[in-house]
Copies of this chain bind each other. A is one copy, B any other.
Amino acid sequence: MGGTQERDIRERFRRSGYTLTSQRKAVLEALGESRGHPSAEDVYLLVKKKNPRVALGTVYQALSVLEEIGVIGAKHWSESPTRYDLNVDPHLDIRCLGCGEVSEIPGVDLGDLEDRLRGATPYEVTRAAVVVEGLCPACRAAG
């Protein structure tokens, strides 16, 4: 399931040729602590608590290689910075237009959507993502 453990992560780094530095470890740990879908800035602030010398650019670069080697996922909404996720299994996330919180939507199957896309366009389809927005219960209550 979701929990990619230390062993696996080291292996992914080794195979990719990237090195597992303390900064990259710290970014990964911050992502675990945040228990959600933090932005690069969120991760930066968490990492800085333990090591005040890290640079924001380093966090961006770490997130980028972690995503590239498949250890974390990244999702984009139009009115928010990119959100990162330890959950790399295919799943949907919804973002609240009120407070910006992102949560997972379990149990929705897209079926053969990608296949149908491939059949309907001469393009080679690389990626299809469903971007969902709404209002969380708290923001809905607050009107």
Which residues in A have some Cβ–Cβ distance to B below 8 Å?
76, 78, 82, 92, 94, 96-97, 103, 105-108, 110, 113, 116-117, 120-137, 140
A105 CB contact (under 8 Å) in B97, B110, B121: B121
A103 to B124, CA, bound (A): 12
A120–B105 CB distance below 8 A? yes
Q: A124-B135, A127-B134, A129-B131 are in contact. List 19 more A-B contacts (CB 8 A).
A: A76-B76, A76-B78, A78-B82, A94-B121, A94-B125, A96-B123, A97-B126, A103-B123, A105-B117, A105-B120, A108-B120, A121-B134, A122-B136, A124-B134, A124-B140, A125-B133, A126-B133, A127-B132, A127-B133
A129 to chain B, nearest CB (A): 5
Cross-chain contact B117 with A135 (CB below 8 angstroms) = no
Does B130 lie within 8 Å of A135, measured CB to CB? no
Contacts of A134 in B (CB 8 A): 121, 123-127
Q: Is the CB of A128 within 8 A of B130?
A: yes
Q: Which residues of B contact A106 (CB under 8 A)?
A: 120
Cα–Cα distance between A108 and B106 once the two chains are bound (Å): 24
Q: Which residues of B contact A126 (CB under 8 A)?
A: 97, 133-135
Q: Which residue of B lies closest to A140 (CB)?
A: B124
Q: How far is the CA of A92 from the CA of B140 in the complex (A)?
A: 29
Q: Is the CB–CB distance between A137 and B117 below 8 Å?
A: no
Q: Please name 20 pairs of A and B residues whose Cβ atoms are closer than 8 Å in the assembled complex, sorted by A.
A: A76-B76, A76-B78, A96-B123, A103-B123, A105-B117, A106-B120, A108-B117, A121-B134, A122-B136, A123-B135, A123-B140, A124-B134, A124-B140, A126-B135, A127-B134, A128-B130, A128-B131, A129-B131, A130-B131, A131-B131
